[in-house]
Amino acid sequence: MGFGNIKTKDGQKQLNDFLADRSYIEGYVPSQADVVVFEALSAAPPADLFHALRWFKHMSSYKKLEMQSWPGVKQPLGNYGPKGGAAAAAADSDDDDDDDDIDLFGSDDEADAAAEKLKEERLAAYAAKKSKKPALIAKSMIILDVKPWDDETDMKEVEKSVRSIDTDGLVWGTSKLVPLAYGIKKLQISCVVEDDKVGTDFLEESITAFEDFVQSVDVAAFNKI
């Protein structure tokens, strides 16, 4: 009975076969049965065990607090999964010897077709649910050091020029003047960018284009958000 040692490839293959036409370990909604099996796995199943990996990723999308509210009562891991085991297999073998010429159930074609259709419907529903989740937008916080030519450069104009750079995916943040040497101060200004739309090359080229005010631009800090 059960999946055997679910941390092994053989146990995970049994889990994969079991989930071929199922969305959950028991029933049609997540339950404590799913929690027991999920917690027994030390890591995600390999990619070739598609059904087990699909189920594992689905379980991973829930928080532990949500799982605690699922119906059912936790039982030992061996109580879940394929019924039977070695004893049942031996009994089946004995029955086969006695009933070789008796076809109790007829063709399994219809049952297989129904199971395949059910599997496809569940996979389609799962894919549709995933596609409705909003895509995460990768963003970064960048701090730039903008250095003027000399101590006579109007730093207010420098900041005004920098902030005039306006493009989709760019939001300017706070700024301050930081002393360098000989009375020269640099403008240190932060911004948040969408990684797919704005890069450091664009920022450096756009700022150094104000060549009357800006000598150089350096990236002082770059952090993913």
pLDDT digit string (tens) for the chain, length 225 residues: 578 888 898 888 999 999 988 999 998 899 999 999 999 988 999 999 989 999 999 999 999 888 999 999 999 988 888 874 433 344 444 444 444 444 545 555 667 788 888 888 888 888 877 777 666 789 999 999 999 999 999 999 999 999 999 999 999 999 999 999 989 999 999 999 999 999 999 999 999 999 999 999 999 999 988
* Close Cβ partners of 106 (under 8 Å, ≥ 6 residues apart): none
**H-helix or E-strand spanning residue 94:** helix 86-98
The structure tokens 């199971």 sit at 115
Give CA–CA dist 182/18, Å, rounded.
75
Give the angle subtended at the CA of 77 by the CAs of 74 and 85, to the nearest 5°: 135
Per-residue model confidence (pLDDT) at position 32: 94
